[in-house]
Homo-oligomer: A and B are copies of this chain.
Amino acid sequence: MSKKIAAFGEVMMRMQVPENLLLTQANSLQYSFSGTGVNITGSIEKLGYESALISTLPANPIGDAAISHLQKLGISTDYIARSGNYIGMYFLENGIGARPSRVTYSNRMQSSFNTASKSNYSFHKIAEEIDLLHVCGITLAMNENVRQQMIRLANLVKEQGGTVLFDCNYRPSLWGENGHLKAKPYYDQLLNIADMVMMNEKDALYTLEYHCQHQEREKQLEELIPKVAEDYNIAMIAGTHRTIHHDDSHSIKGYLYQAGKFHYAKQEQFRVLDRIGAGDAFATGIIHGKLQDYQPQQTIQFATASCMLAHTIVGDTPLSTKQEILQASNHQIRDVIR
């Protein structure tokens, strides 16, 4: 029987300006629904798992459209409550060449998810039914109410023998000035709960306030991650180093730290169509490796290929199948498939 993966998080309405136009130039937007939780559950479903999102959406036509979108992705909406009036939104203007992409948020603080009461969710039932819970630092930045819901659920899942994955995903703009001081206590709690953590040396340095004398990020990583793993008792830590090139291509180098050892995937350079959500594809790949008992090297190769392919999919949510990821991890470029 297939495993069931759930994520707790907000559904965002993504409003993309077409092609490479600016908001001042265009008159139409392409919309979809995403968010870290959506990306994780939508992409893990493509790998053959049951998946469910734990969230709240308004009982209006926008909420209905979000539900339809999640259903289309194959995500179970059984854990989704309907209350409140609003949905968080963001507007994306695609950059190109010398001009970076730009995201502008609508007001998400009054969204259904961020104003939901904990009675919206049957946390005990959920914790019993799922095998793995994904939570992330974006949700942690929202408000105290949501933070407490997230921590409670993560604890319940652990109690039921489930696995908890925490993606640090520290977003400075959400925490405000000196935000890391506000954030650290919550990060500490989550890291103590989590079995698997997505992060790199920057999280250790700037959020968790570790210190390091090295200047190169590779060395910082190798010094700090083992400390984090030990301090918080985390079984698996994984993450990526991204390099952005002048020709709209990026490079990703993925690492996995497990059982005291670092495992690296071959660095990949690839053309980028849609960068958002690619980090979630990496996390999905790590989850898959974990649930399939892959060897660490196999896991990190798979996760990196998953991440790379996610850059070729329009929209935030990765959609690649297991077979496509395995083929991409062979580093071969193929002609038209007929």
Contacts and interface: CB of A to CB of B under 8 A. Distances in A.
Interface in A227-282: 242, 244-249, 268-273, 275-276
Interface residues of A, number: 84
A273 B328 contact: no
B273 A20 contact: yes
B32 A27 contact: yes
A134 interface: no
B171 A338 contact: yes
Nearest to A171: B338
A314 B25 contact: yes
Given A32-B27, A72-B72, A314 B273 contact: no
A336 to B, nearest CB: 4
Interface string A17-42: 01111111111111110000000000
Contacts of A312: 20, 95-99
A198 to B, nearest CB: 17
Contacts of A103: 336-338
A150 interface: no
Interface stretch (A59-67, A160-168, A199-207, A288-296): A59-67
Contacts of A311: 97-98
A315 B95 contact: no
Contact of A336 (B23, B100, B245): B100
A69 interface: yes
A102 B337 contact: yes
A14 to B, nearest CB: 11
- The residue in A64, A90, A305 that gathers the most chain B C-beta atoms within 10 A of its C-beta is A64
A106 B86 contact: yes
A52 to B, nearest CB: 14
B106 A245 contact: no
B27 A335 contact: no
Interface string A304-338: 01001101111100011000100010000111111
A96 B29 contact: no
A275 B336 contact: yes
Nearest to A85: B107
Contacts of A89: 89, 106
B335 A242 contact: yes
A23 B32 CA distance: 10
A262 to B, nearest CB: 24
Given A74-B71, A246-B333, A97 B29 contact: no
Given A20-B314, A103-B337, A247-B247, 17 more contacts: A28-B28, A60-B104, A61-B104, A62-B91, A69-B72, A71-B71, A71-B74, A72-B72, A95-B336, A97-B312, A98-B309, A98-B328, A107-B107, A109-B110, A171-B338, A246-B333, A276-B336
5 contacts: A68-B74, A98-B268, A98-B305, A99-B320, A246-B270
Interface of A: 15, 18-32, 60-62, 64-65, 68-69, 71-74, 85-87, 89-91, 93, 95-107, 109-110, 171, 173, 242, 244-249, 268-273, 275-276, 305, 308-309, 311-315, 319-320, 324, 328, 333-338
